[in-house]
Amino acid sequence: MYCKNCGGELSNNQEVCLKCGFKVGKGEKYCFNCGKEINPGAEICLNCGFKINGKHSTFSNESKSEAYEKLANYEKTSSIIWLVIGILQILTIVGIIVGAWNVYQSWKRKKNAETIKTVQPSGLYKVYEDRMTTLIVFAVLNFFLGAILGLVGVGYDFYVRNYVLSNKDIFE
């Protein structure tokens, strides 16, 4: 990480540049990823290809362990959401099949969270990138089988997927 104001090198959790005093993330003269000077108004660094401005920056201020911890917590939350939705669906009788499936998904997410937190496996980016079709199928099944609550779970899972895709450099 480098200061966007002066190009000075920053440590992982540093909030202020010790060289120039600017708050991390402020300034536009230098690339935050490689520290090289950039052209004013540039969208990407010509040296390293880092996206300078935009919602989908591939760089995060989080350390790798912080990002894995955050993802593990997201998976735990997803597990709870799917468990509650699944139980409610089972109680309605109409959604019993989808409810049972959602309880199973809850169990899988809980196991995923434990693995992510302890092992920090590589290749997660591809797993979450490929999850789009599965999420769409979940949304359709939950919607048509009387389980509109399932759309809440799918929405949250899209949020988690976006987090991983936004931090490709960490989860690849």
Q: Where are the alpha helices (DSSP H) in the chain?
A: 64-91, 96-119, 124-129, 132-144, 150-166, 168-171
pLDDT in tens, 77-131: 988 988 887 788 777 766 677 778 788 888 998 998 999 988 888 888 888 888 8
Structure token pair of residue 155: 């929405």
Picking from 158, 156, 140, 159, the residue whose alpha carbon sits closest to that of residue 148 is 140
Is-above-0.75 flag for pTM? no
Query: What CA–CA distance (Å, rounded) separates 69 from 2?
Result: 24
Yes or no: say if 171 and 124 are a contact pair by the CB < 8 Å rule: yes
Q: At what angle do helices 150-166 and 96-119 cross, to 10 degrees?
A: 30
> Chain centroid to CA 171: how far?
9
pLDDT in tens, 27-47: 667 776 777 777 777 777 777
Position 145 scores a pLDDT of 66
